[in-house]
Amino acid sequence: MTGLSVRDLRVVFDGFVAVGGVDLEVPEGDVRFVIGPNGAGKTTLVDAITGLVRATGHVAFDGQDLLGRKVHRIARLGIGRTFQTAAVFEELTVLQNLDIAAGWSRKPWSLLRTRRSIPAEVEKAMETVRLSAVRDQLAGTLAHGQKQWLEIGMLLVQDARLLLLDEPVAGMSQSERDATGDLLGELSRDRTVLVIEHDMDFLRRYARTVTVMHAGKVLSEGSVTEVQADPRVQEVYLGRGAS
């Protein structure tokens, strides 16, 4: 299948099983939300997919095996991730951040010069993440949500086809959350999106499918309605009587 395939994934830290035999299939074009209580193994799962922690089992994206590859080689296969705190160059402008991410063969000092034209892929990324109007603004002065969008834009100019987003709406205003939800739908037109999230309202509005993790394993999986109706999910995550 195209998309992300995870089979019997295991991550163990000094005898502690952080991820214990996870199976996960995320087809191309899905907006998959992964939820679960703290310590469920969600971020460790993404760390394993992107090569940040050692794991056993099988992980593939579009038929390419990932486990055992270096982080940068996994990224070159079209896999990009964001973190809970946006990793942008705050002393540089939006355009300069995207310039660097695009990997143009330019000297570092030349990134500070005003360029006469902007490559099409950078222009498109700025439009997609709603930052064209602030392209010359320093990243450090952007609103919280805009920083998150810039980080996503930096993945787009690298042609990432699998986006792994760690709590992308944490700390956002309602308008930023709505814009981010719309952005996820746009991104899924030609990419696969996996979102680690705690915000249940955001999940109800924008998730297509949901995977619930608990104690390092997959507890439940399905549509938002199916997952919310699962008594096991209500017990360990949503709480009895959750709507």
DSSP letters spanning 96-115: HHHHHHHT----GGGGGSPP
Q: pTM score, two decimals?
A: 0.88
The whole-angstrom separation of Cα 86 and Cα 188 is: 21
CATH code for 1-78+194-243? 3.40.50.300
Task: Give the pLDDT band of residue 120 (cuts 50, 70, 90).
Answer: confident
Please report the pLDDT score of residue 1 as a whole number.
52
Reduce the DSSP state of residue 120 to 3 states and report it. helix
The whole-angstrom separation of Cα 47 and Cα 206 is: 24
- Please say if the pLDDT value at position 9 is more than 70: yes
| Residue boundaries of the structural domains of the chain | 1-78+194-243
Task: Give the pLDDT band of residue 238 (cuts 50, 70, 90).
Answer: low
Kindly tell me the burial class for residue 98, based on how many C-beta atoms sit within 10 Å of its own C-beta (0-12, 13-18, 19 or more): buried
Name the residue with tokens 């540089």.
92
Please report the pLDDT score of residue 107 as a whole number.
52
Please report the pLDDT score of residue 2 as a whole number.
73
Please give the torsion angle defined by the CA atoms of residues 51, 52, 56 and 61, in that order, rounded to the nearest 10 degrees: -30
Task: Give the pLDDT band of residue 179 (cuts 50, 70, 90).
Answer: very high
Return the DSSP state at 134: G
Distance from chain centroid for Cα 97: 18
pLDDT, tens only, 210-228: 999 999 999 999 999 999 8
The whole-angstrom separation of Cα 41 and Cα 32 is: 16
Nearest to 78 by CA among 226, 179, 192: 192
- Please say if the pLDDT value at position 183 is more than 90: yes
Q: Which stretch of 86-90, 180-184, 199-203, 237-241 has the lowest confidence by average pLDDT?
A: 237-241
Strand runs (DSSP E) across 50-168, as ranges? 56-61, 64-65, 79-81, 162-166
Return the DSSP state at 105: -
Please report the pLDDT score of residue 237 as a whole number.
64
Listed in sequence order, the residues at least 6 apart from 2 whose beta carbon sits closer than 8 Å to its beta carbon are 27, 28, 62, 63
Distance from chain centroid for Cα 178: 17
Query: Are 174 and 188 in contact, with CB atoms under 8 Å apart?
Result: no
